[in-house]
Amino acid sequence: MQMIGEFRNPELVKNLCRSISRVTTQKWKIMEICGGQTHSILHYGLDQLLPPEIELLHGPGCPVCVTPSQILELAFKIALQKDVIFCTFADMIRVPGEYRGSQTLDFYKVRAMGGDVRMVQSPLEAVNIAKNNPEKEVVFFAVGFETTTPVNALAVNEAEKLGLSNMFFLVSQVLVPPALEALLGSPDNQIQGVLAAGHVCSIMGTKPYVDLAEKYQVPCVITGFEPTDLLQGIYLCIKQMEDGRSEMENQYSRVVKSDGNFKAQELMQKYFQVKEQGWRGLGRIADSGYGFRNEYAHFDAEVKYQKLYESETRTPSCEFVCRSGEVLVGRLKPTDCEHFGKICNPSSPLGPTMVSTEGACAAYFKYRNQGRGINEA
């Protein structure tokens, strides 16, 4: 706790803010990629301490939020099948989606309709449920970025060792660099600097961000999640932009190493391969997801329940109201949405960005309403 306190020290925060003010001479737009970074920024009021020339854009770094509606609808259909136990993390339970093109559901409603939906804290817990319920088919909703993919791979490994034929994984695992490349390469791109997520880089290493910084001439600074981490990352990013440089810098070197975690990468690559992936707000992006290798397709819930899957692309009617897609790509601040805090709130969310603990709308609702700052935290 003493070490954590040092990273939240108000005097260090003030000194970093003064340093940022000294080097800032013009307007800059920086995107923090991860929802965890967004929540820390809002929690401690860091955006309000920055010079007015600096605007922070919130990126698509919330795994629950970017899960496409088509996969969510398939999840509802699977969960409603007889003799299926559907396991998911708590964040996904209240995410609204459509069922058969018209009815709005979430997993609470699926449970009320007779589906056996269970909240778990780890995919290994789902494997244990499959082991103890051999007469049931158990499906785990494997949602996440590179940070959680190794744990999903570990669960597949455990299911394989146990010889479970009733364990399946509905996979919606995404990769950050291809999504960031889609944003940086878009014609209306406004991102001038990037704060990359330290936990993702702790798994995958720093090279993808070296390549992105060079290709798009945008500074990429890898940061941690504490106030001083984020402010130091912003300082490094601003300094680069003011100096006319575009490099990868690793602010989070106490955790992130250049090569990442080789053991985790090895486990991921054993079971999963890179594939095209759908993203809420970004559409389909080549090589931006992890899916099962062919030799492990017997664990793949999309293969097991392929008759339930509807491949046609359509925009669910609930997304005509919810503007979460715009929030996820930094085009819309949550408070600029006409529904924010009115018909859309944590008790009655229109979309995932208001539900998830990493969602930008949830962060604005929680911390802006409370007026939290570094001295109150």
Q: Band of the pLDDT at 3, cuts 50, 70, 90?
A: low
Residue 348 has which token pair? Answer: 């009655």
pLDDT at 297 over 60: yes
For residue 254, the model assigns a pLDDT of: 95
For residue 336, the model assigns a pLDDT of: 94
Q: Band of the pLDDT at 370, cuts 50, 70, 90?
A: low
**Euclidean distance between CA atoms 231 and 252, whole angstroms:** 12
For residue 267, the model assigns a pLDDT of: 97
Total count of domains within the chain = 1
Mean predicted confidence (pLDDT) in 100-107: 77
Beta bridge partners of 171: 142
**Euclidean distance between CA atoms 120 and 275, whole angstroms:** 27
Spatial contact of 66 and 279, defined as CB atoms under 8 Å apart: yes
Pairing between strand 193-197 and 28-34?
A: parallel
**Euclidean distance between CA atoms 189 and 331, whole angstroms:** 9
pLDDT at 320 over 80: no
Spatial contact of 166 and 4, defined as CB atoms under 8 Å apart: no
pLDDT at 369 over 70: no
Q: What percent of the chain has pLDDT over 90?
A: 88
Residue 67 has which token pair? Answer: 């899960």
**Euclidean distance between CA atoms 54 and 234, whole angstroms:** 9
Instruction: Using DSSP, state whether 357 is helix, strand or coil.
Output: coil
pLDDT at 308 over 90: no
Q: Burial, 135: exposed, middle or buried (Cβ in 10 Å; 0-12, 13-18, 19+)? A: exposed
- C-alpha distances out from residue 217 to 125, 193, 210, 229, 248, Å: 44, 9, 10, 23, 10
Q: Band of the pLDDT at 217, cuts 50, 70, 90?
A: very high
Q: Which structural domain range is residue 18 located in?
A: 1-377
The residue among 308 and 13 whose pLDDT is bigger is: 13
Per-residue pLDDT tens over the stretch 42-76: 999 999 999 999 999 999 999 999 999 899 999 99
List helix spans (H) across 80-192: 90-93, 107-112, 123-132, 149-162, 176-184
Query: Tokens 């300082």 appear where?
Result: 235
**Euclidean distance between CA atoms 236 and 232, whole angstroms:** 6
**Euclidean distance between CA atoms 51 and 17, whole angstroms:** 8
What is the residue-averaged pLDDT of the chain? Answer: 92
**Helix (H) or strand (E) segment spanning residue 47:** helix 46-49
pLDDT at 377 over 50: no
Q: Band of the pLDDT at 6, cuts 50, 70, 90?
A: confident
User: How far from each other are the two terminal CA atoms of the chain, in whole angstroms?
Assistant: 14
Query: Tokens 């798994």 appear where?
Result: 203
In single-letter form, the type of residue at position 250 comes to N
**Euclidean distance between CA atoms 230 and 136, whole angstroms:** 46
pLDDT at 317 over 50: no
Per-residue pLDDT tens over the stretch 167-214: 999 999 999 999 999 999 999 999 999 999 999 999 999 999 999 999
For residue 5, the model assigns a pLDDT of: 75
Sign of CA dihedral 356, 359, 365, 366: positive
Out of 201-205, 214-218, 319-323, 353-357, least confident range: 319-323
Mean predicted confidence (pLDDT) in 269-279: 97
Query: Tokens 């396991």 appear where?
Result: 87
Residue 125 has which token pair? Answer: 């817990």
Beta bridge partners of 300: 169
**Euclidean distance between CA atoms 193 and 238, whole angstroms:** 8
Residue 315 has which token pair? Answer: 């925009």
Mean predicted confidence (pLDDT) in 216-242: 98
CATH number of the domain bearing residue 277: 3.40.50.11740
Per-residue pLDDT tens over the stretch 119-144: 999 999 999 999 999 999 999 999 99
The residue among 373 and 353 whose pLDDT is bigger is: 353
The residue among 319 and 154 whose pLDDT is bigger is: 154
- Residue 188: CB partners within 8 Å, gap ≥ 6? none
Spatial contact of 288 and 277, defined as CB atoms under 8 Å apart: yes
For residue 2, the model assigns a pLDDT of: 54
Q: What percent of the chain has pLDDT over 70?
A: 93
